[in-house]
Amino acid sequence: MQIEQTALAGVVILTPQRFGDDRGWFSETWNAARMAAAGLDFAFVQDNHSMSGAAGTLRGLHYQRPPHAQDKLVRCTRGAIFDVAVDIRRGSPTYGHWIGVDLTAANGKQLLVPKGFLHGFVTRAPDTEVQYKCTDLYAPDSDGAIRWDDPAIGIDWGLSAAPILSAKDAIAPLLADFDSPFVWEGAE
C-alpha cells in the first residue's frame, strides 16, 4: 500500500496495490496490523455506503463532535468524487485550510480524514458510490456541518453549476460562527 502524506498533518492518501489477472483484480483496502506498523492505528466500528444519482451532488462539509468524533477512511467504489478535508482544530497552524483529492473507482485511492477535520465530497459522475469506515458510531446529537461554499475556506469544488445539496447542508453555518470542539495537540 502506498501511503502519501498531505499538506494537512494527519490527512493521508492511501493507494492500495491491485493484483490483476484475466478475471479482474483484487485489492486489500485495509489491514489493521500493517497500517498500525505504519503509524495508522484505527479501530473502525461502522461502515457507510452512499449512492448519488447525479453528478454535482455535494455532501458536506460534515463533522461529528466529541464524544462521538470520527476518523473516516473514504473510497469511491463506483464513479468519481472530489473528496475534501478541512482542518478545524483550534490552535492549528493549518486551521481552515483544505485539501482535495480525486477518488475514483478506477484509481482506487482512499482518503483518511482524522477527527478534527471537516469532510465533504462532490460527485463527478452519475450513479457514484462512496464507502467509508468510521471509528465511532453515528450519533445524531453530535452531528454538525459547515457551509460547503464558505468564502473563508475557499474550496474550489470545480463546479460549473449549483450543486445538489441536502436541506441540512444548504443552511449550514459559516466557519466564523463555529466554536470548534477540536483542539490541535501536536507539532506539525
Residues with a catalytic annotation lie at 62, 132
Q: Distance (Å, rounded) from C-alpha 75 to C-alpha 30? A: 11
From 67, 187, 60, 79, select the one nearest 129 (Cα to Cα). Answer: 79
- For residue 101, give the 3-state DSSP assignment: strand
Residues 6 or more apart in contact with residue 37 via CB below 8 angstroms: none
Q: Distance (Å, rounded) from C-alpha 53 to C-alpha 3? A: 31
Residues 6 or more apart in contact with residue 136 via CB below 8 angstroms: 45, 46, 64, 68, 69, 70
Residue 186 corresponds to which cell in the numbers above? 501536536
